[in-house]
Chain A
Amino acid sequence: MTETDAIVMEGISKTFKKAQKPSLYPTDLRIESGSFVTILGASGCGKTTLLKMVNRLYEPSSGKILINGQDIARIAPTKLRRQIGYVIQQTGLFRHMTIEQNVAMVPGILGWDKEKINRRIDDLLNLVGLSPSEFRKRYPGQLSGGQQQRIGLARAMAADPSIMLMDEPFGAIDAINRAALQDEILRIQKQLHKTILFVTHDIMEAMKLGDKVIVMNEGKVQQFARPLDILRHPANEFVRDLVHSDDRLQRLAFVRAKDVMNTEAAVPDPDKEAPEAPENSTLHEILMLLLGGRTDYVQIKDEKNNPVGRVTLKEIRRA
Protein backbone atom coordinates (compact mmCIF):
# COMPACT_ATOMS: atom_id res chain seq x y z
CA MET A 1 0.00 0.00 0.00
CA THR A 2 1.31 3.43 -0.88
CA GLU A 3 0.43 6.71 0.71
CA THR A 4 -1.41 7.85 -2.37
CA ASP A 5 -4.06 5.14 -2.12
CA ALA A 6 -7.27 6.39 -0.55
CA ILE A 7 -9.08 3.06 -0.68
CA VAL A 8 -7.47 -0.36 -0.78
CA MET A 9 -9.54 -3.51 -1.09
CA GLU A 10 -7.84 -6.79 -0.35
CA GLY A 11 -9.69 -9.91 -1.39
CA ILE A 12 -13.08 -8.58 -0.46
CA SER A 13 -16.08 -10.67 -1.46
CA LYS A 14 -19.73 -10.71 -0.55
CA THR A 15 -22.16 -13.58 -0.44
CA PHE A 16 -25.55 -12.62 0.95
CA LYS A 17 -27.33 -14.94 3.34
CA LYS A 18 -29.27 -17.65 1.50
CA ALA A 19 -27.73 -16.60 -1.82
CA GLN A 20 -26.45 -19.43 -4.03
CA LYS A 21 -23.48 -17.54 -5.40
CA PRO A 22 -21.42 -14.52 -4.42
CA SER A 23 -22.67 -11.08 -5.42
CA LEU A 24 -19.03 -10.07 -5.44
CA TYR A 25 -16.17 -12.52 -5.99
CA PRO A 26 -12.86 -11.87 -4.19
CA THR A 27 -11.60 -8.55 -5.45
CA ASP A 28 -8.45 -6.49 -5.08
CA LEU A 29 -8.55 -2.81 -5.94
CA ARG A 30 -6.51 0.28 -5.20
CA ILE A 31 -8.17 3.64 -5.57
CA GLU A 32 -5.69 6.46 -5.80
CA SER A 33 -6.25 9.45 -3.60
CA GLY A 34 -7.93 12.31 -5.43
CA SER A 35 -9.00 10.19 -8.37
CA PHE A 36 -12.44 9.94 -9.91
CA VAL A 37 -13.27 6.28 -10.41
CA THR A 38 -16.46 5.12 -12.07
CA ILE A 39 -17.92 1.65 -11.62
CA LEU A 40 -19.64 0.46 -14.78
CA GLY A 41 -21.77 -2.62 -15.30
CA ALA A 42 -25.21 -4.00 -16.01
CA SER A 43 -27.96 -4.28 -13.42
CA GLY A 44 -27.25 -6.84 -10.73
CA CYS A 45 -23.52 -7.17 -11.42
CA GLY A 46 -22.56 -6.10 -7.91
CA LYS A 47 -21.77 -2.38 -8.25
CA THR A 48 -23.85 -1.31 -5.26
CA THR A 49 -22.59 -4.25 -3.23
CA LEU A 50 -19.00 -3.18 -3.84
CA LEU A 51 -19.77 0.43 -2.97
CA LYS A 52 -21.70 -0.26 0.21
CA MET A 53 -18.88 -2.25 1.72
CA VAL A 54 -16.72 0.87 1.72
CA ASN A 55 -18.96 2.62 4.26
CA ARG A 56 -19.94 -0.62 5.97
CA LEU A 57 -23.56 -0.61 4.93
CA TYR A 58 -22.61 -4.16 4.01
CA GLU A 59 -19.95 -6.20 5.77
CA PRO A 60 -17.70 -8.20 3.44
CA SER A 61 -17.82 -11.99 3.67
CA SER A 62 -14.05 -12.06 3.27
CA GLY A 63 -11.14 -9.70 2.87
CA LYS A 64 -10.58 -6.22 4.22
CA ILE A 65 -10.78 -2.61 3.18
CA LEU A 66 -8.32 0.09 4.14
CA ILE A 67 -9.17 3.76 3.99
CA ASN A 68 -6.17 6.07 4.14
CA GLY A 69 -4.26 3.11 5.49
CA GLN A 70 -6.73 2.24 8.24
CA ASP A 71 -8.69 -1.03 8.39
CA ILE A 72 -12.33 0.06 8.37
CA ALA A 73 -13.42 -2.97 10.36
CA ARG A 74 -11.72 -1.28 13.32
CA ILE A 75 -13.57 2.02 12.94
CA ALA A 76 -17.07 2.36 14.43
CA PRO A 77 -19.52 2.39 11.48
CA THR A 78 -21.12 5.71 12.44
CA LYS A 79 -17.73 7.38 12.83
CA LEU A 80 -16.54 5.94 9.51
CA ARG A 81 -19.67 7.07 7.67
CA ARG A 82 -19.43 10.62 8.97
CA GLN A 83 -16.17 11.00 7.09
CA ILE A 84 -17.41 9.52 3.83
CA GLY A 85 -19.93 11.31 1.61
CA TYR A 86 -22.76 9.11 0.35
CA VAL A 87 -25.14 10.03 -2.46
CA ILE A 88 -27.88 7.77 -3.82
CA GLN A 89 -30.16 7.98 -6.84
CA GLN A 90 -33.33 8.59 -4.82
CA THR A 91 -31.51 11.38 -2.94
CA GLY A 92 -32.95 10.30 0.42
CA LEU A 93 -33.45 13.93 1.39
CA PHE A 94 -35.34 14.51 4.65
CA ARG A 95 -38.55 16.06 3.38
CA HIS A 96 -39.64 17.29 6.81
CA MET A 97 -36.53 19.43 7.04
CA THR A 98 -35.55 22.52 5.10
CA ILE A 99 -32.61 22.47 2.72
CA GLU A 100 -30.36 24.12 5.32
CA GLN A 101 -31.39 21.59 7.97
CA ASN A 102 -30.66 18.76 5.56
CA VAL A 103 -27.21 20.09 4.75
CA ALA A 104 -26.45 20.87 8.40
CA MET A 105 -27.19 17.36 9.63
CA VAL A 106 -23.71 15.81 9.71
CA PRO A 107 -21.85 18.97 10.81
CA GLY A 108 -24.46 19.28 13.58
CA ILE A 109 -23.85 15.70 14.70
CA LEU A 110 -20.12 16.37 14.63
CA GLY A 111 -20.69 19.31 16.96
CA TRP A 112 -19.57 22.17 14.73
CA ASP A 113 -20.54 25.59 16.04
CA LYS A 114 -23.53 27.41 14.55
CA GLU A 115 -21.49 30.09 12.83
CA LYS A 116 -19.30 27.61 11.03
CA ILE A 117 -22.27 25.49 9.95
CA ASN A 118 -24.01 28.58 8.65
CA ARG A 119 -21.08 29.60 6.49
CA ARG A 120 -20.67 26.02 5.32
CA ILE A 121 -24.28 25.86 4.12
CA ASP A 122 -23.84 29.00 2.02
CA ASP A 123 -20.55 27.78 0.58
CA LEU A 124 -21.99 24.39 -0.33
CA LEU A 125 -25.12 25.78 -1.95
CA ASN A 126 -22.99 28.12 -4.01
CA LEU A 127 -20.72 25.23 -4.91
CA VAL A 128 -23.60 23.19 -6.32
CA GLY A 129 -24.99 26.22 -8.14
CA LEU A 130 -28.05 27.04 -6.00
CA SER A 131 -28.48 30.49 -4.51
CA PRO A 132 -28.48 30.24 -0.70
CA SER A 133 -30.92 33.10 -0.19
CA GLU A 134 -33.41 31.44 -2.49
CA PHE A 135 -33.05 27.83 -1.38
CA ARG A 136 -32.00 27.63 2.27
CA LYS A 137 -35.50 27.82 3.71
CA ARG A 138 -37.22 25.64 1.12
CA TYR A 139 -38.33 22.07 1.64
CA PRO A 140 -37.10 19.29 -0.68
CA GLY A 141 -40.63 18.94 -2.04
CA GLN A 142 -40.33 22.42 -3.51
CA LEU A 143 -37.32 21.53 -5.67
CA SER A 144 -36.98 19.92 -9.09
CA GLY A 145 -35.35 16.51 -9.37
CA GLY A 146 -32.07 18.00 -10.52
CA GLN A 147 -32.05 20.56 -7.73
CA GLN A 148 -32.80 17.84 -5.18
CA GLN A 149 -29.82 15.87 -6.40
CA ARG A 150 -27.62 18.97 -6.08
CA ILE A 151 -28.74 19.22 -2.47
CA GLY A 152 -28.03 15.52 -2.02
CA LEU A 153 -24.52 16.26 -3.22
CA ALA A 154 -24.14 19.33 -0.98
CA ARG A 155 -25.37 17.37 2.04
CA ALA A 156 -22.92 14.55 1.36
CA MET A 157 -20.05 17.03 1.19
CA ALA A 158 -21.13 18.96 4.28
CA ALA A 159 -18.44 17.74 6.64
CA ASP A 160 -15.82 17.94 3.89
CA PRO A 161 -15.19 14.19 3.52
CA SER A 162 -12.15 13.24 1.45
CA ILE A 163 -14.01 10.27 -0.03
CA MET A 164 -17.38 10.35 -1.80
CA LEU A 165 -19.47 7.30 -2.70
CA MET A 166 -22.10 7.95 -5.33
CA ASP A 167 -24.60 5.28 -6.42
CA GLU A 168 -26.13 6.22 -9.77
CA PRO A 169 -26.72 9.76 -8.49
CA PHE A 170 -27.92 11.08 -11.84
CA GLY A 171 -29.81 7.97 -12.92
CA ALA A 172 -33.27 9.51 -12.53
CA ILE A 173 -32.49 12.84 -14.15
CA ASP A 174 -33.29 13.89 -17.73
CA ALA A 175 -30.49 14.00 -20.28
CA ILE A 176 -29.97 17.77 -20.34
CA ASN A 177 -29.83 18.18 -16.58
CA ARG A 178 -27.71 15.10 -16.28
CA ALA A 179 -25.06 16.56 -18.58
CA ALA A 180 -25.06 19.75 -16.51
CA LEU A 181 -24.69 17.79 -13.27
CA GLN A 182 -21.87 15.73 -14.77
CA ASP A 183 -19.98 18.89 -15.68
CA GLU A 184 -20.62 20.18 -12.19
CA ILE A 185 -19.30 17.13 -10.38
CA LEU A 186 -16.23 17.14 -12.63
CA ARG A 187 -15.61 20.78 -11.81
CA ILE A 188 -16.10 20.17 -8.09
CA GLN A 189 -13.77 17.21 -8.13
CA LYS A 190 -11.07 19.17 -9.99
CA GLN A 191 -11.47 21.97 -7.49
CA LEU A 192 -11.56 19.96 -4.27
CA HIS A 193 -9.58 16.81 -5.19
CA LYS A 194 -12.06 14.42 -3.60
CA THR A 195 -11.64 10.71 -4.11
CA ILE A 196 -14.86 9.68 -5.82
CA LEU A 197 -16.30 6.21 -6.39
CA PHE A 198 -19.20 6.69 -8.79
CA VAL A 199 -21.54 3.88 -9.83
CA THR A 200 -23.32 4.09 -13.17
CA HIS A 201 -24.67 1.80 -15.82
CA ASP A 202 -24.34 4.49 -18.47
CA ILE A 203 -21.16 3.86 -20.42
CA MET A 204 -20.99 7.44 -21.70
CA GLU A 205 -21.17 8.73 -18.14
CA ALA A 206 -18.54 6.26 -16.91
CA MET A 207 -16.13 7.26 -19.67
CA LYS A 208 -16.79 10.96 -19.38
CA LEU A 209 -16.36 11.20 -15.61
CA GLY A 210 -13.83 8.57 -14.73
CA ASP A 211 -10.08 9.07 -14.55
CA LYS A 212 -10.31 5.32 -14.33
CA VAL A 213 -13.20 2.95 -14.89
CA ILE A 214 -13.99 -0.31 -13.12
CA VAL A 215 -15.88 -2.52 -15.56
CA MET A 216 -17.87 -5.20 -13.75
CA ASN A 217 -19.87 -8.22 -14.80
CA GLU A 218 -21.51 -10.95 -12.74
CA GLY A 219 -19.76 -10.07 -9.52
CA LYS A 220 -16.29 -9.80 -11.03
CA VAL A 221 -14.12 -6.88 -12.00
CA GLN A 222 -13.43 -7.30 -15.70
CA GLN A 223 -11.05 -4.40 -16.13
CA PHE A 224 -9.81 -1.44 -14.11
CA ALA A 225 -8.10 1.09 -16.32
CA ARG A 226 -8.16 4.55 -17.87
CA PRO A 227 -11.00 5.06 -20.36
CA LEU A 228 -8.61 5.26 -23.28
CA ASP A 229 -6.88 2.04 -22.28
CA ILE A 230 -10.21 0.30 -21.98
CA LEU A 231 -11.01 1.39 -25.52
CA ARG A 232 -7.64 0.52 -26.95
CA HIS A 233 -6.93 -2.62 -25.02
CA PRO A 234 -10.16 -4.17 -23.75
CA ALA A 235 -9.20 -6.90 -21.27
CA ASN A 236 -11.61 -9.47 -22.64
CA GLU A 237 -14.54 -10.24 -24.89
CA PHE A 238 -17.02 -8.77 -22.44
CA VAL A 239 -15.32 -5.39 -22.26
CA ARG A 240 -14.80 -5.35 -26.04
CA ASP A 241 -18.51 -5.86 -26.63
CA LEU A 242 -19.43 -3.33 -23.99
CA VAL A 243 -17.39 -0.48 -25.43
CA HIS A 244 -18.01 -1.42 -29.07
CA SER A 245 -14.34 -0.84 -29.63
CA ASP A 246 -14.78 -1.66 -33.31
CA ASP A 247 -17.31 1.16 -33.81
CA ARG A 248 -15.16 4.18 -34.60
CA LEU A 249 -17.81 6.84 -34.29
CA GLN A 250 -18.80 5.47 -30.91
CA ARG A 251 -15.19 5.45 -29.81
CA LEU A 252 -14.77 9.11 -30.64
CA ALA A 253 -17.40 9.85 -28.03
CA PHE A 254 -15.23 8.29 -25.31
CA VAL A 255 -11.78 9.61 -26.15
CA ARG A 256 -10.83 12.99 -24.78
CA ALA A 257 -8.78 15.64 -26.51
CA LYS A 258 -6.14 15.81 -23.77
CA ASP A 259 -5.34 12.14 -24.25
CA VAL A 260 -4.46 12.38 -27.93
CA MET A 261 -3.60 16.02 -28.67
CA ASN A 262 -0.34 17.06 -30.19
CA THR A 263 1.32 18.96 -27.36
CA GLU A 264 4.32 19.97 -29.47
CA ALA A 265 2.12 22.35 -31.42
CA ALA A 266 0.61 24.06 -28.40
CA VAL A 267 0.95 27.67 -29.49
CA PRO A 268 -1.89 28.96 -31.66
CA ASP A 269 -1.26 30.33 -35.13
CA PRO A 270 -1.82 34.09 -34.91
CA ASP A 271 -3.16 34.52 -38.42
CA LYS A 272 -5.61 31.62 -38.30
CA GLU A 273 -8.84 31.67 -36.34
CA ALA A 274 -8.92 28.10 -35.18
CA PRO A 275 -11.87 26.86 -33.13
CA GLU A 276 -11.03 26.27 -29.48
CA ALA A 277 -12.10 23.53 -27.10
CA PRO A 278 -11.42 22.57 -23.48
CA GLU A 279 -9.05 19.64 -22.98
CA ASN A 280 -11.83 17.45 -21.60
CA SER A 281 -13.83 17.61 -24.86
CA THR A 282 -14.46 14.32 -26.59
CA LEU A 283 -13.06 13.72 -30.05
CA HIS A 284 -16.65 13.60 -31.20
CA GLU A 285 -17.01 17.25 -30.25
CA ILE A 286 -13.60 18.09 -31.75
CA LEU A 287 -14.56 16.44 -35.03
CA MET A 288 -17.70 18.56 -35.17
CA LEU A 289 -15.61 21.70 -34.67
CA LEU A 290 -13.19 20.62 -37.39
CA LEU A 291 -16.00 19.99 -39.82
CA GLY A 292 -17.57 23.35 -39.02
CA GLY A 293 -14.37 25.41 -38.88
CA ARG A 294 -11.99 26.69 -41.55
CA THR A 295 -8.71 25.44 -40.16
CA ASP A 296 -7.25 21.95 -40.20
CA TYR A 297 -6.83 21.89 -36.44
CA VAL A 298 -8.70 22.64 -33.22
CA GLN A 299 -6.89 24.58 -30.51
CA ILE A 300 -7.09 22.83 -27.12
CA LYS A 301 -7.01 24.86 -23.92
CA ASP A 302 -6.77 23.89 -20.27
CA GLU A 303 -8.98 25.08 -17.40
CA LYS A 304 -7.02 28.30 -17.06
CA ASN A 305 -7.51 28.96 -20.77
CA ASN A 306 -3.86 28.38 -21.66
CA PRO A 307 -3.23 26.71 -25.03
CA VAL A 308 -1.93 23.18 -24.39
CA GLY A 309 -2.11 21.43 -27.74
CA ARG A 310 -3.85 20.84 -31.04
CA VAL A 311 -5.98 18.11 -32.52
CA THR A 312 -6.02 17.48 -36.27
CA LEU A 313 -7.60 14.68 -38.30
CA LYS A 314 -4.35 12.77 -37.85
CA GLU A 315 -4.87 12.50 -34.08
CA ILE A 316 -8.49 11.59 -34.57
CA ARG A 317 -7.59 8.80 -36.98
CA ARG A 318 -5.13 7.39 -34.49
CA ALA A 319 -7.52 7.40 -31.58
Chain B
Amino acid sequence: MDLVWGAFQYIMHNRAAFSEAMRTHLELSGSALLIGLLISIPLGIICARHARLSVMIMGMVNSLRVVPSLAILIIVMPILGTGYTPALVALTILSCPPILINTFLGIKSVDHEVIESAIGMGMDNRQILFRIELPLALPLILSGVRTASVEVISSATLAAFIGGGGLGTFIINGLGLYNFAVLLAGAIPVALFAICSEVVFGIIEKLATKYRQA
Protein backbone atom coordinates (compact mmCIF):
# COMPACT_ATOMS: atom_id res chain seq x y z
CA MET B 1 0.00 0.00 0.00
CA ASP B 2 2.90 2.29 0.80
CA LEU B 3 4.20 1.73 -2.69
CA VAL B 4 0.88 2.71 -4.25
CA TRP B 5 0.81 5.81 -2.06
CA GLY B 6 4.37 6.53 -3.16
CA ALA B 7 3.39 6.12 -6.78
CA PHE B 8 0.49 8.50 -6.25
CA GLN B 9 2.76 11.08 -4.67
CA TYR B 10 5.27 10.70 -7.46
CA ILE B 11 2.51 11.34 -10.00
CA MET B 12 1.33 14.43 -8.11
CA HIS B 13 4.86 15.80 -8.03
CA ASN B 14 5.45 15.16 -11.71
CA ARG B 15 2.01 16.06 -12.98
CA ALA B 16 3.21 17.60 -16.23
CA ALA B 17 5.44 14.68 -17.17
CA PHE B 18 2.76 12.20 -16.15
CA SER B 19 -0.04 13.74 -18.15
CA GLU B 20 2.28 14.08 -21.14
CA ALA B 21 3.18 10.38 -20.87
CA MET B 22 -0.45 9.41 -20.46
CA ARG B 23 -1.46 11.46 -23.47
CA THR B 24 1.27 9.92 -25.61
CA HIS B 25 0.33 6.46 -24.41
CA LEU B 26 -3.35 6.84 -25.24
CA GLU B 27 -2.69 8.59 -28.50
CA LEU B 28 -0.23 5.93 -29.56
CA SER B 29 -2.61 3.10 -28.64
CA GLY B 30 -5.67 4.82 -30.10
CA SER B 31 -3.97 5.65 -33.39
CA ALA B 32 -2.51 2.17 -33.73
CA LEU B 33 -5.91 0.65 -33.08
CA LEU B 34 -7.65 2.97 -35.53
CA ILE B 35 -5.15 2.38 -38.32
CA GLY B 36 -5.29 -1.33 -37.51
CA LEU B 37 -9.08 -1.26 -37.92
CA LEU B 38 -8.86 0.60 -41.22
CA ILE B 39 -6.42 -1.97 -42.57
CA SER B 40 -7.79 -5.16 -41.05
CA ILE B 41 -11.52 -4.88 -41.65
CA PRO B 42 -11.32 -4.31 -45.43
CA LEU B 43 -8.56 -6.91 -45.67
CA GLY B 44 -10.68 -9.38 -43.68
CA ILE B 45 -13.61 -8.78 -46.03
CA ILE B 46 -11.40 -9.31 -49.07
CA CYS B 47 -10.03 -12.52 -47.55
CA ALA B 48 -13.55 -13.80 -46.96
CA ARG B 49 -14.26 -13.32 -50.68
CA HIS B 50 -11.10 -14.90 -52.08
CA ALA B 51 -10.28 -18.35 -50.81
CA ARG B 52 -6.75 -18.53 -52.21
CA LEU B 53 -5.72 -15.11 -50.94
CA SER B 54 -7.16 -15.91 -47.53
CA VAL B 55 -5.01 -19.04 -47.13
CA MET B 56 -1.90 -16.95 -47.76
CA ILE B 57 -2.81 -14.00 -45.59
CA MET B 58 -4.20 -16.03 -42.73
CA GLY B 59 -1.04 -18.13 -42.70
CA MET B 60 1.05 -14.99 -42.52
CA VAL B 61 -1.06 -13.43 -39.81
CA ASN B 62 -1.09 -16.54 -37.70
CA SER B 63 2.69 -16.75 -37.76
CA LEU B 64 2.84 -13.05 -36.92
CA ARG B 65 0.75 -13.74 -33.87
CA VAL B 66 3.34 -15.91 -32.18
CA VAL B 67 6.02 -13.21 -32.44
CA PRO B 68 6.22 -11.42 -29.06
CA SER B 69 5.41 -7.73 -29.11
CA LEU B 70 8.86 -6.72 -27.88
CA ALA B 71 10.38 -8.57 -30.82
CA ILE B 72 8.21 -6.65 -33.26
CA LEU B 73 9.31 -3.38 -31.70
CA ILE B 74 12.93 -4.36 -31.98
CA ILE B 75 12.54 -5.62 -35.55
CA VAL B 76 11.16 -2.28 -36.78
CA MET B 77 13.96 -0.35 -35.10
CA PRO B 78 16.71 -1.01 -37.66
CA ILE B 79 14.26 -0.16 -40.45
CA LEU B 80 12.51 2.89 -39.07
CA GLY B 81 14.86 4.01 -36.35
CA THR B 82 13.61 5.09 -32.95
CA GLY B 83 10.88 7.38 -31.71
CA TYR B 84 7.13 7.76 -32.05
CA THR B 85 6.62 6.61 -35.65
CA PRO B 86 8.33 3.24 -35.40
CA ALA B 87 6.46 2.60 -32.18
CA LEU B 88 3.20 3.43 -33.96
CA VAL B 89 4.08 1.12 -36.85
CA ALA B 90 4.94 -1.72 -34.50
CA LEU B 91 1.76 -1.33 -32.49
CA THR B 92 -0.35 -1.14 -35.64
CA ILE B 93 1.17 -4.39 -36.85
CA LEU B 94 0.35 -5.85 -33.48
CA SER B 95 -3.27 -4.75 -33.57
CA CYS B 96 -4.04 -6.29 -36.95
CA PRO B 97 -4.12 -10.06 -36.42
CA PRO B 98 -7.04 -10.34 -33.97
CA ILE B 99 -9.23 -7.90 -35.93
CA LEU B 100 -8.33 -9.35 -39.31
CA ILE B 101 -8.89 -12.95 -38.26
CA ASN B 102 -12.19 -12.21 -36.55
CA THR B 103 -13.51 -10.14 -39.45
CA PHE B 104 -12.65 -13.00 -41.78
CA LEU B 105 -14.25 -15.61 -39.51
CA GLY B 106 -17.27 -13.42 -38.81
CA ILE B 107 -18.11 -12.98 -42.45
CA LYS B 108 -17.36 -16.60 -43.27
CA SER B 109 -19.72 -17.74 -40.53
CA VAL B 110 -22.79 -16.03 -41.98
CA ASP B 111 -25.18 -18.79 -43.05
CA HIS B 112 -25.19 -19.68 -46.69
CA GLU B 113 -29.01 -19.66 -46.71
CA VAL B 114 -29.15 -16.13 -45.38
CA ILE B 115 -26.93 -14.90 -48.21
CA GLU B 116 -28.90 -16.91 -50.72
CA SER B 117 -32.18 -15.39 -49.69
CA ALA B 118 -30.62 -11.93 -49.63
CA ILE B 119 -29.45 -12.41 -53.22
CA GLY B 120 -32.76 -14.03 -54.09
CA MET B 121 -34.71 -11.00 -52.95
CA GLY B 122 -32.62 -8.71 -55.10
CA MET B 123 -30.09 -7.17 -52.73
CA ASP B 124 -26.86 -6.09 -54.43
CA ASN B 125 -23.33 -6.82 -53.14
CA ARG B 126 -23.04 -3.56 -51.24
CA GLN B 127 -26.38 -4.00 -49.53
CA ILE B 128 -25.53 -7.56 -48.60
CA LEU B 129 -22.16 -6.52 -47.16
CA PHE B 130 -23.37 -3.55 -45.14
CA ARG B 131 -26.82 -4.72 -44.08
CA ILE B 132 -26.31 -8.44 -43.67
CA GLU B 133 -22.71 -9.65 -43.49
CA LEU B 134 -21.06 -6.92 -41.44
CA PRO B 135 -23.89 -6.64 -38.87
CA LEU B 136 -23.90 -10.41 -38.43
CA ALA B 137 -20.10 -10.47 -38.16
CA LEU B 138 -20.05 -7.50 -35.80
CA PRO B 139 -19.96 -9.43 -32.50
CA LEU B 140 -16.90 -11.36 -33.63
CA ILE B 141 -15.24 -8.25 -35.07
CA LEU B 142 -15.80 -6.41 -31.81
CA SER B 143 -14.30 -9.20 -29.81
CA GLY B 144 -11.27 -8.99 -32.08
CA VAL B 145 -11.08 -5.26 -31.46
CA ARG B 146 -11.29 -5.87 -27.73
CA THR B 147 -8.39 -8.31 -27.82
CA ALA B 148 -6.40 -5.93 -30.01
CA SER B 149 -7.05 -2.95 -27.76
CA VAL B 150 -5.85 -4.73 -24.65
CA GLU B 151 -2.81 -5.99 -26.49
CA VAL B 152 -1.97 -2.57 -27.92
CA ILE B 153 -2.45 -0.70 -24.64
CA SER B 154 -0.19 -3.05 -22.74
CA SER B 155 2.38 -3.29 -25.52
CA ALA B 156 2.49 0.50 -25.88
CA THR B 157 4.40 0.30 -22.61
CA LEU B 158 7.26 -1.22 -24.54
CA ALA B 159 7.32 1.73 -26.93
CA ALA B 160 9.43 3.50 -24.34
CA PHE B 161 12.21 1.05 -25.15
CA ILE B 162 12.56 2.51 -28.62
CA GLY B 163 12.00 6.08 -27.50
CA GLY B 164 8.34 6.24 -28.34
CA GLY B 165 7.40 7.73 -24.98
CA GLY B 166 4.28 6.88 -23.02
CA LEU B 167 3.74 5.44 -19.57
CA GLY B 168 6.42 2.84 -20.25
CA THR B 169 8.97 5.58 -19.65
CA PHE B 170 8.14 5.52 -15.93
CA ILE B 171 8.47 1.77 -15.83
CA ILE B 172 11.88 1.87 -17.44
CA ASN B 173 12.99 4.67 -15.16
CA GLY B 174 11.61 2.86 -12.13
CA LEU B 175 13.51 -0.25 -13.09
CA GLY B 176 16.68 1.73 -13.70
CA LEU B 177 16.45 3.60 -10.40
CA TYR B 178 15.27 0.52 -8.60
CA ASN B 179 12.36 2.71 -7.45
CA PHE B 180 9.12 0.75 -7.38
CA ALA B 181 6.97 3.79 -6.68
CA VAL B 182 8.06 5.25 -10.04
CA LEU B 183 7.57 1.91 -11.74
CA LEU B 184 4.04 1.63 -10.37
CA ALA B 185 3.25 5.19 -11.43
CA GLY B 186 3.55 3.82 -14.96
CA ALA B 187 2.29 0.29 -14.48
CA ILE B 188 -0.93 0.92 -12.56
CA PRO B 189 -2.47 3.36 -15.09
CA VAL B 190 -1.57 1.00 -17.94
CA ALA B 191 -3.29 -1.88 -16.16
CA LEU B 192 -6.33 0.30 -15.48
CA PHE B 193 -6.55 1.39 -19.12
CA ALA B 194 -6.31 -2.18 -20.31
CA ILE B 195 -9.06 -3.27 -17.95
CA CYS B 196 -11.23 -0.30 -18.93
CA SER B 197 -10.99 -1.00 -22.63
CA GLU B 198 -11.76 -4.67 -21.99
CA VAL B 199 -14.90 -3.69 -20.09
CA VAL B 200 -16.03 -1.00 -22.52
CA PHE B 201 -15.65 -3.18 -25.59
CA GLY B 202 -17.33 -6.00 -23.68
CA ILE B 203 -20.37 -3.78 -23.15
CA ILE B 204 -20.44 -2.69 -26.79
CA GLU B 205 -20.28 -6.34 -27.80
CA LYS B 206 -23.25 -7.15 -25.57
CA LEU B 207 -25.27 -4.34 -27.09
CA ALA B 208 -24.43 -5.54 -30.58
CA THR B 209 -25.78 -9.00 -29.85
CA LYS B 210 -29.03 -7.86 -28.27
CA TYR B 211 -30.99 -9.98 -30.72
CA ARG B 212 -29.34 -13.15 -29.42
CA GLN B 213 -30.22 -12.71 -25.78
CA ALA B 214 -33.80 -11.92 -26.65
Contact = CB atoms under 8 A, between A and B. Distances in A.
A97 B127 CA distance: 14
Interface in B106-122: 111, 113-114, 116-122
A78 B124 CA distance: 6
B26 interface: no
Contact of A55 (B120, B123, B132): B120
A109 B127 contact: yes
A81 B214 contact: no
B136 interface: yes
A105 B116 contact: no
Contact of B114 (A83, A86, A92): A92
Contacts, number: 67
Interface string B15-32: 000000000000000000
A90 B121 contact: no
Given A79-B122, A88-B113, A92-B113, A141 B127 contact: no
Interface in B130-168: 131-132, 135-136
A88 B120 contact: yes
Given A78-B122, A78-B124, A142-B214, A88 B135 contact: no
B106 to A, nearest CB: 12
Given A57-B116, A88-B117, A90-B113, A139 B214 contact: yes
Interface of A: 55, 57, 77-83, 86, 88, 90-97, 105-106, 109, 138-139, 141-142, 152, 155-156
25 contacts: A57-B116, A78-B122, A78-B123, A78-B124, A80-B122, A81-B121, A86-B117, A86-B121, A88-B113, A88-B117, A91-B117, A92-B111, A92-B114, A92-B116, A92-B120, A93-B114, A95-B114, A95-B136, A109-B127, A139-B211, A139-B214, A141-B211, A141-B212, A141-B214, A156-B121
